[in-house]
Amino acid sequence: MGRALAVIIWILTLLSVILFVSKKWWFPQGISAHAPALDRQFMITLVVVGIAFAAAQIGLGWTVWKYRDASNRPAATYTHGSSRLEVVWTVITAVVFVGLAVMGQSVWASLRFNAAPAGSYQIEVVAQQFEWNFHYPGKDKLFGRTEPELIDEATQNSIGLDVSDPNARDDQVGKLLAVPVGRPVELILRSKDVIHSFWVPPLRFKQDLVPGMAIHVHFTANKVGKYELACAELCGQLHFNMKSVMLVLPEDEFRALTEMAPGKPFIDRITELRDKYKLPEEQ
């Protein structure tokens, strides 16, 4: 029985390693400037953890095999072990994992804690159960004032935009996200109700939206196309329905879109662009 268990442990370990090495279910192609650095750090972490995992499971299988129950084997005796060895492997483990964390935090932190580059295009993202709202500042690049008491779903004013504010006259609000290719974009993330999570897998970007907070993040998308945008936080009964798309547009196409009149012209045009581009898996 001991030998059979050891073989099962080794087979499961081998299958787990093959699963990752084959990359059969892997990340989609990255479309952001920070994606290569993030993917590189992920691979380093995966290799280090994978080696530790495989070594531990191989050792476990060997122990089960060597010390299996046998009629001619003497009774087991208790040993305290080696405190020195315990200290050594604990310190090594701590150094490796803390080191990986320090190496990985630079890319993550640079997109959240550092100010967005000069010239970044700002878009306000307002999440609610169970849809996304994207607020564009319009041709003047200035956001109109928003007030919670002005929110009125019946008139489709989901973000409480104050239309009496001069800066709001050219603001566009829609359910689709459009960003320019090759230009830094700063998102201002807000939530109206519960915690949501902005997630675009090819962008290698995921960030929670927390009620009462305006969270500033930034990135640069570098490949034109259409990509799925989902809420990665269980936000209620219809969580599965909280999805949209992110359009990465050429600069001229994006400029023409964001300088259009708000309301129906803007909605019609961004819908046309959504239909124009295909998701990567549809190409």
In this structure, what CATH number is given to the domain that contains residue 160? Answer: 2.60.40.420
Q: Give a yes or no: residue 253 inside a domain.
A: yes
Q: What is the pLDDT of residue 123?
A: 96
Q: Are 100 and 44 in contact (CB under 8 A)?
A: yes
SS3 2: helix
Q: Give a yes or no: residue 116 inside a domain.
A: no
Q: Give a yes or no: residue 32 inside a domain.
A: yes
- What secondary structure does DSSP assign to 235-252, as a single string? -STTGGG-EEEEEEE-HH
Q: What is the pLDDT of residue 155?
A: 86
Indicate if 127 and 92 belong to the same structural domain: no
Domain count, the chain: 2
SS3 79: coil
Give the range of the structural domain holding residue 158, as residue numbers without chain letter.
121-282
Q: What is the pLDDT of residue 112?
A: 82
Indicate if 94 and 187 belong to the same structural domain: no
Q: How far is CA 239 from CA 191, 230, 235, 242, in A?
A: 14, 9, 5, 5
Indicate if 138 and 90 belong to the same structural domain: no
* Residue at a domain's end among 110, 130, 165: 110
DSSP lists the bridge partners of residue 216 as: 188
Q: Give a yes or no: residue 106 inside a domain.
A: yes
Q: Give a yes or no: residue 73 inside a domain.
A: no
Indicate if 131 and 268 belong to the same structural domain: yes
Could you give phi then psi for residue 60, rounded to 5 degrees?
-65, -45
> Could you tell me the two tokens for 52?
């530790």
Q: Are 172 and 260 in contact (CB under 8 A)?
A: yes
DSSP β-ladder status, 184-191 and 177-180? unpaired
Indicate if 139 and 266 belong to the same structural domain: yes
Indicate if 176 and 233 belong to the same structural domain: yes
Q: What is the pLDDT of residue 119?
A: 87
Indicate if 87 and 128 belong to the same structural domain: no
Indicate if 100 and 137 belong to the same structural domain: no
Q: Give a yes or no: residue 77 inside a domain.
A: no
Indicate if 181 and 218 belong to the same structural domain: yes
Q: What is the pLDDT of residue 3?
A: 83
Q: Give a yes or no: residue 251 inside a domain.
A: yes
Q: What is the pLDDT of residue 180?
A: 96
Q: Are 86 and 149 in contact (CB under 8 A)?
A: no
DSSP lists the bridge partners of residue 135 as: 124, 173
Indicate if 126 and 16 belong to the same structural domain: no
Q: Give a yes or no: residue 218 inside a domain.
A: yes
Q: What is the pLDDT of residue 281?
A: 85
- Closest to 269 measured CA to CA, from 254, 248, 250: 254
Indicate if 93 and 132 belong to the same structural domain: no
Indicate if 152 and 221 belong to the same structural domain: yes
Rounded mean pLDDT for each run of 10 residues along the chain, 283 residues in total = 85 91 86 90 89 92 82 74 88 90 80 86 95 93 91 89 91 94 95 95 94 94 95 94 95 93 91 94 80
